[in-house]
Structure 1
Amino acid sequence: MPDRPNPARVVADADVLAADLFVDGDARAALDHVRRHDWVELVASDELLAETEVLVASLANSDLAAAHRERLEAERVLVEQPPEDHPALASAYRGNAAHLLTYEEGLRSAKAGLTLQPRVSVSIRSPDAFATLFDPQSLYEAVVGGSYSGPDRDPLE
């Protein structure tokens, strides 16, 4: 594993990916930051997308779940994961992501942070915290270099 995670790589847990689909709220605001910039990447394993598909199907129907998964597959950076690992955590450490967005309080707890810190360097936060703290200008300067000229993609496409 590289020493430093890529600050332009983001993992969204299944709960956040589903909320992004259904609610115009914090999850959508957070993931729109990712979709607005071609240099910011969404990282996800097949297992994470499968978990998301099951969740969306339970909340709506299997057709919407399959269509949502297909869209996510086209947008994401694919990473492999061991089958017994937590899909979002595995996506973060296998994809060298600096950010993991989740509503799961257990993952965002201080205890989880202390347990994970020796193994993986990832910032685990709620989508609203990420959406509030995301600073594309300074991130662009650090990751890409040069002057930030603003978003380069429409998040609705």
Structure 2
Amino acid sequence: MEEKRIIMDDKAVGRAIARISYEIIERNKGTDDICIVGILSRGAPLGKRIAAKLMELENNDVPFGTLDITPYRDDKTDDIPQDETDISFPVRDKNVIIVDDVIFTGRSVRAAIDALIKRGRPRSIQLAVLVDRGHRELPIRPDYVGKNLPTSHSEVVKVSVTELDGSDSVAIFLKEQK
């Protein structure tokens, strides 16, 4: 893949996380009964940052966990690895905010909802994403969006996070033509 352009640098990613955090507080009237669940792999560090920002702003510990959606994906049928979910708190009757890096077709979010409901019945499930690139195949819409980024099917959105990649950024690449 050849890099097309950088859409968000580290400062823009930081501002988006702060904005999403403020919106979560406003919509939920604080952080009581909220928990954050980041989808592995890049939704997890973003979710952890949102949980930390909520703690900083509200001085209230917000439970954070990670969710492995691999066993719940509709495009995986063979050799599913062990579920690496790490949610050490009950989700029952909580307002659960699922965090992912990019929403595209909506299928990953559907898998995340299935995985979450297996662990209990939340009061509500909300969705926060760093990038919404459109092209939904399922009727799923995020509640909190860092950046709306209209793309074509021939483009790939790549989110990099410091925790996994050494720096924060969002870039668009062109798919290689076959």
The normalised TM-score by structure 1 is 0.33
Greater length-normalized contact order (CA 8 Å, ≥ 6 residues apart): 1
The normalised TM-score by structure 2 is 0.31
Larger radius of gyration, structure 1 or 2?
2
- Structure richer in helix, relative to its length: 1
- Structure richer in strand, relative to its length: 2
